[in-house]
């Protein structure tokens, strides 16, 4: 009887050890050997063409400057970005970002005013006559995308409003900024002295059409 | 003589066989066999998401109720449209000789005693899980200065089959679109729309990547489970028809003074969205094919071709544009911006009709398979005219030659009495000129149709639809479809239109493209030798300068655009079409006929060549 119960105990112990070993092997496999399909693989698998930003800007603009994010002196941290937006009359707006300083794209998140830096911020501004703008801060510069205007526009290219002659774009893959003068058949640029709530209130769809 | 060992072996084998038979009788091997629908009612159950509910196509059921009742209405919260495509479907009851149009026979829980042939449970925003779990609908709107905020649960969609059963009915067909919300197409598009491609060129592909991951991991499995559940719940007599999704955007930017160009979505982004739609459609189709191999009565219908050339921001869109602000009937009108309308990037009324055409074609095909005796492949040609006389209720004004035999009369009768056959003709200024091209008596009638798009202004002698209901032949050639397709086949009905005397036809034969059909000025038909020639005259001159003007203000660029434009016109102007005259067919040419509605079965009964005899036997009045 004693011999039998010892045999059973030993068998059970061996089984448990085997299961544990298998679990460890699987864990090691997933942690160190298996890698999920790379992001590029999925796009390639499904035939979705990913743009090459450098080629795109070369073909569709005059590139004025190409600035690696790490070299930029004008990127705002969250607190500075909040102040920048507030100074311009966008204090009621929720400021969001998708990118960390290394260019990783993630879920849209509301910024909190920390000292963390992000290369890109954005917010939605609604004017008193219900026109929608997307206000972006890229490398510290403000660009406004007139969504309501572009929604109904019959032009051949979308409009952007800037404070300078150039448009700053963000390539998060290479983690660089491009300062460009876009070709007009790609983007139509309207330059204003300052992008703030007051300016955008006056820059209605009808006013833009007159420009 | 068998020895003991053999006997023992034999008896063991016998006992094993007996045990197996006993097992099978207690636990029968499940075999998915198609049970005939013994119910005499013809029933379609419409399930699915916003593409099936008719999101964006007003009026929605119960939208005219006072707000306090509206926010309690499942139909309104689900944005079930009175013009949803599954309501446009028809089913024939061959015994009662009736054709049911679904949205005229919708189940009304307030009046369960009413005759019902359509149960509508599709819900805007539904994901696969909402087939078997409730879908919460949050509303927040302001009406007459008063805010209404809350939420209601929409019943599990599969629960509709309990209602079907309670009414002692069984579904003949279950239609649906599903999966788009699981992947999150609308959300993707709105995310992309509010960003600037030029400022963040990788953002849209990064968003797509997320969705593709979801598609790979979750949506495929949940769709398969969903279809199985539907099959289980609806019963084996039901044919499940899964419709795919259309390409949402036109792959080109169309500049027009009258419609937005769609600048919120960059061209590359449009192509990527359409690509994602293809991926989802392929996945759906694969799942359907897998289930078909298990003998499940399920079918996939693609709508891509039907929508080709009619994406959002095309010149003749079947899909709503993006609306950045909510519409009056949106259930969430108050919220953080962006708060776009749920109508955005959903099929419009024309889109719903396009869906209905595709799914109806599949239903018709399945009906023929299920009830082959009602759809004979061949009607033997008759060499002698019938002796009966057909009485016309509305004789047409005819020019010579007058009908010379009863079959010709029967053809005119069918046209004149079209409403009785489910055709509604409006603005008719009909002068049907009969051209007996062969001089012989012909038992079959061959009609060729014209345009399949929206109304063409200032066209004489043209056949077009009022609104956008039309009969389309097969697609061939360019993107979109050709409006004129003289085509004879068992499943197609085509009208010849706009005839002229051969002397009126100019020497040159300009052509057309479906894309530029709005510029078509005349359509000409002629018979020459053994062919019927179709030619279309298009005049683009009025629009040419306007369109080129949008291109650029640069002289050089304008010159280039002009050259491109002219060479394009040259290309399409070479088009013409000839069709050999079939000596076994009788050709009827009609002028200025507008077809508005069509009950497919009655229409086919009236006009499909091999059904003519049956249609006359059934519908004509004899003396």
* CA atoms of B7 and B11, how far apart (whole Å): 6
* CA atoms of B241 and B299, how far apart (whole Å): 5
In chain A, which among 63-102 make CB contacts under 8 A with chain B? 94, 98
**Local structure of B444: helix, strand or coil:** strand
With a pLDDT cut of 90, the percent of chain B lying above it is: 30
- Please report which confidence band the pLDDT of residue B426 belongs to, taking 50, 70 and 90 as the band edges: very low
Both tokens assigned to B16:
């094993």
SS (H, E, C) B177-214: CCCHHHHCHHHHHHHHHCCCCCCCCCHHHHHHHHHHHH
C-alpha closest to that of B464 among B413, B522, B538, B532: B522
Question: Quick check: B73 and B61 in contact, CB under 8 A?
Answer: yes
Q: Is it the case that residue B39 has pLDDT exceeding 80?
A: no
What would the mean pLDDT of B116-120 be, rounded to a whole number?
Answer: 93
| Cβ <8 Å between B324 and A98 | no
Query: Which residues in chain B touch residue A136, judged by CB atoms under 8 angstroms apart?
Result: 196, 199
Both tokens assigned to B208:
């797509």
Listed in order, strand segments (DSSP E) in A50-115 are 61-68, 96-99, 105-110
- Residues 6 or more apart whose CB falls under 8 angstroms from that of B453 comprise B316, B464, B465, B468, B470, B483, B514, B517, B518
Q: Is it the case that residue B609 has pLDDT exceeding 70?
A: no
| Residue B402 at interface with chain A, using a CB cutoff of 8 Å | no
Q: Is it the case that residue B293 has pLDDT exceeding 80?
A: yes
- Residues 6 or more apart whose CB falls under 8 angstroms from that of A203 comprise A146, A161, A190, A192
- Please report which confidence band the pLDDT of residue B172 belongs to, taking 50, 70 and 90 as the band edges: very high
Question: Quick check: B126 and B135 in contact, CB under 8 A?
Answer: yes
- Please report which confidence band the pLDDT of residue B372 belongs to, taking 50, 70 and 90 as the band edges: confident
* CA atoms of B344 and B56, how far apart (whole Å): 7
CA dihedral B441, B442, B443, B445 (to 10 degrees): -130
- Residues 6 or more apart whose CB falls under 8 angstroms from that of A9 comprise none
- Please report which confidence band the pLDDT of residue B317 belongs to, taking 50, 70 and 90 as the band edges: confident
The distance of Cα B565 from the centroid of its chain, to the nearest Å, equals: 33
With a pLDDT cut of 70, the percent of chain B lying above it is: 51
* CA atoms of B142 and B335, how far apart (whole Å): 11
**Local structure of A21: helix, strand or coil:** helix
Q: Is it the case that residue B556 has pLDDT exceeding 70?
A: yes
What would the mean pLDDT of B373-400 be, rounded to a whole number?
Answer: 32
Per mean pLDDT, which range of B15-19, B250-254, B571-575 is the poorest? B571-575
How many residues does this entry show for chain B? 623
What would the mean pLDDT of B374-400 be, rounded to a whole number?
Answer: 31
Query: Which residues in chain B touch residue A164, judged by CB atoms under 8 angstroms apart?
Result: none
- Select the more confidently predicted residue: B512 or A42: A42
Both tokens assigned to B147:
């805010």
Please list, residue by residue across A26-51, b when 16 or more beta carbons sit within 10 angstroms of its beta carbon and e when fewer do.
eeeeeeeeeeeeebeebbeebebebb
Q: What is the pLDDT of residue B513?
A: 28
- Select the more confidently predicted residue: B376 or B591: B376
The residue written with tokens 């519409």 in the block is: B327
Q: How far, CA to CA in Å, does A206 sit from each of A115, A129, A201, B261, B338? A: 40, 12, 12, 17, 21
Identify the residue among A57, A147, A177, A182 best suited for mutation to test binding to B, counting B beta carbons within 10 A and taking the highest.
A147
- Select the more confidently predicted residue: B397 or A59: A59
What would the mean pLDDT of B30-52 be, rounded to a whole number?
Answer: 71
- Please report which confidence band the pLDDT of residue B255 belongs to, taking 50, 70 and 90 as the band edges: low
Q: What is the pLDDT of residue B362?
A: 94
Tens of pLDDT, residue by residue over B451-492, are 222 222 212 222 222 222 222 222 122 222 222 322 222 222
Identify the residue among A53, A156, A177 best suited for mutation to test binding to B, counting B beta carbons within 10 A and taking the highest.
A156
Q: What is the mean pLDDT of each run of 10 residues along chain A (211 residues)?
A: 76 85 75 52 69 91 95 95 96 92 91 94 93 95 95 86 95 95 91 96 90 77
Per mean pLDDT, which range of A80-94, A104-118, B235-249, B548-562 is the poorest? B548-562
Q: What is the pLDDT of residue B268?
A: 79
**Local structure of B368: helix, strand or coil:** helix
Q: What is the pLDDT of residue A29?
A: 64
Q: How far, CA to CA in Å, does A90 sit from each of A99, A193, B608? A: 21, 17, 66
- Please report which confidence band the pLDDT of residue B594 belongs to, taking 50, 70 and 90 as the band edges: very low
What would the mean pLDDT of B552-573 be, rounded to a whole number?
Answer: 60
Query: Which residues in chain A touch residue B338, judged by CB atoms under 8 angstroms apart?
Result: 124, 132, 147
Q: What are phi and psi for residue B79, nearest 5 degrees?
A: 50, 55
Question: Quick check: B279 and B215 in contact, CB under 8 A?
Answer: yes
CA dihedral B610, B615, B621, B623 (to 10 degrees): 30
- Select the more confidently predicted residue: B142 or B583: B142
ipTM metric: 0.83
- The sign of the CA dihedral A190, A192, A195, A197 is negative
Chain B: give the shortest CA distance to residue A187, in Å.
Answer: 8
Query: Which residues in chain B touch residue A124, judged by CB atoms under 8 angstroms apart?
Result: 194, 337-338
Chain A: give the shortest CA distance to residue B324, in Å.
Answer: 7
The distance of Cα B482 from the centroid of its chain, to the nearest Å, equals: 17
Q: How far, CA to CA in Å, does B602 sit from each of A59, B369, B614? A: 57, 18, 11
- Omega of the bond leading into B521 within 30 degrees of 0 (cis): no
């Amino acid at each position: 009887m004693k011999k039998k119960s010892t045999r059973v105990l030993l068998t059970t112990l061996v089984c448990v050890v085997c299961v544990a070993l298998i679990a460890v092997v699987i864990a090691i496999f997933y942690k160190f050997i298996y890698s999920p399909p790379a992001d590029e693989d999925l796009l390639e698998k499904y035939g979705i063409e990913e743009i090459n930003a450098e080629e795109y800007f070369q073909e569709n603009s005059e590139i004025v400057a190409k600035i690696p994010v790490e070299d930029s002196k004008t990127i705002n941290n969250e607190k500075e970005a909040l102040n920048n937006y507030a100074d311009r009359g966008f204090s009621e707006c929720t400021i969001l970002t998708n990118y960390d300083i290394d260019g990783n794209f993630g879920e849209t998140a509301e910024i909190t005013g920390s000292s963390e830096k992000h290369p890109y911020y954005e917010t939605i501004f609604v004017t008193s006559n219900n026109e929608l703008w997307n206000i972006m801060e890229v490398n510290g510069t403000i660009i406004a995308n007139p969504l309501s205007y572009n929604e109904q526009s019959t032009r051949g290219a979308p409009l952007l409003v800037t404070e300078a002659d150039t448009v700053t774009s963000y390539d998060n893959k290479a983690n660089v900024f491009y300062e460009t003068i876009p070709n007009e058949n790609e983007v139509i640029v309207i330059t204003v002295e300052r992008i703030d709530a007051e300016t955008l209130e006056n820059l209605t769809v009808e006013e833009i059409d007159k420009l | 003589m068998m020895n003991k060992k053999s006997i023992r072996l034999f008896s063991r084998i016998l006992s094993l066989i007996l045990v197996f038979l006993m097992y099978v009788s207690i636990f029968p091997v499940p075999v998915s066999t198609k049970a005939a629908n013994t119910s005499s009612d013809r029933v379609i159950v419409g399930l699915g998401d916003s593409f099936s509910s008719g999101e964006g196509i007003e009026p929605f059921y119960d939208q005219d109720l006072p707000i306090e009742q509206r926010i309690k209405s499942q139909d309104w919260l689900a944005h079930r449209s009175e013009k949803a495509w599954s309501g446009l479907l028809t089913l024939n009851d061959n015994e009662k000789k009736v054709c049911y149009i679904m949205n005229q026979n919708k189940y009304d829980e307030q009046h369960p005693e009413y005759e019902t042939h359509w149960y509508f449970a599709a819900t805007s925003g539904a994901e696969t899980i909402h087939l078997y779990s409730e879908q919460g609908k949050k509303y927040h709107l302001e009406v007459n200065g008063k805010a209404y905020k809350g939420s209601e649960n929409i019943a599990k969609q599969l629960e509709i089959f309990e209602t079907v059963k309670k009414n002692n009915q069984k579904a003949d067909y279950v239609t649906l679109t599903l999966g788009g919300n699981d992947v999150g197409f609308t959300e993707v598009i709105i995310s992309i729309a509010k960003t600037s491609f030029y400022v963040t060129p990788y953002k849209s592909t990064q968003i797509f990547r997320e969705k593709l991951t979801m598609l790979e991991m979750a949506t495929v499995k949940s769709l398969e489970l969903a279809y199985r559940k539907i099959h289980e719940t609806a019963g084996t007599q039901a044919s499940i028809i899964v419709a795919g999704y259309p390409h949402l955007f036109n792959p080109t930017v169309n500049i027009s003074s009258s419609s937005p160009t769609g600048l919120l979505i960059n061209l590359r982004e449009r192509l990527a969205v359409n690509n994602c739609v293809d991926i989802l459609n392929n996945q759906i189709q694969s799942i359907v094919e897998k289930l078909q191999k298990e003998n499940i009565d399920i079918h996939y219908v693609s709508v891509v071709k039907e929508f080709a050339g009619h994406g959002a921001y095309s010149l003749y869109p079947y899909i709503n544009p993006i609306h950045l602000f909510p519409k009056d009937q949106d259930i969430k009108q108050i919220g953080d911006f962006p708060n776009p309308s749920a109508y955005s990037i959903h099929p419009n009324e024309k889109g719903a009709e396009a869906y209905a055409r595709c799914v109806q074609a599949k239903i018709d095909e399945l009906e023929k398979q299920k009830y082959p005796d009602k759809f004979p492949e061949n009607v033997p040609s008759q060499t002698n005219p019938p002796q009966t006389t057909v009485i016309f209720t509305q004789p047409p004004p005819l020019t010579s030659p007058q009908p010379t035999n009863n079959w010709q009369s029967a053809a005119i009768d069918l046209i004149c009495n079209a409403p009785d056959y489910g055709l509604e003709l409006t603005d008719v200024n009909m002068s049907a000129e009969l051209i007996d091209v062969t001089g012989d008596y012909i038992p079959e009638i061959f009609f060729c149709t014209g345009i399949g798009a929206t109304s063409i202004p200032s066209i004489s002698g043209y056949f077009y639809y009022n609104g956008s209901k039309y009969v389309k032949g097969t697609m061939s050639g360019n993107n979109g479809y050709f409006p004129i397709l003289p085509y004879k086949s068992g499943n197609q009905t085509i009208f010849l239109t706009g005839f002229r005397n051969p002397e009126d036809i100019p020497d040159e034969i300009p052509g057309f493209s479906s894309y530029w059909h709005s510029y078509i000025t005349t359509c000409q038909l002629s018979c020459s030798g053994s062919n019927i020639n179709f030619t279309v005259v298009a005049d683009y001159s009025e629009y040419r300068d306007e369109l080129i003007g949008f291109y650029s203000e640069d002289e050089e660029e304008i010159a280039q655009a002009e050259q491109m434009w002219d060479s394009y016109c040259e290309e399409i102007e070479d088009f013409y079409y000839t069709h050999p005259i079939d000596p076994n067919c009788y050709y009827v040419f009609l002028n200025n006929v507008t077809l508005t509605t069509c009950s497919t079965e009655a229409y086919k009964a009236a006009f499909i060549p091999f059904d003519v005899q049956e249609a006359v036997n059934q519908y004509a009045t004899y003396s």
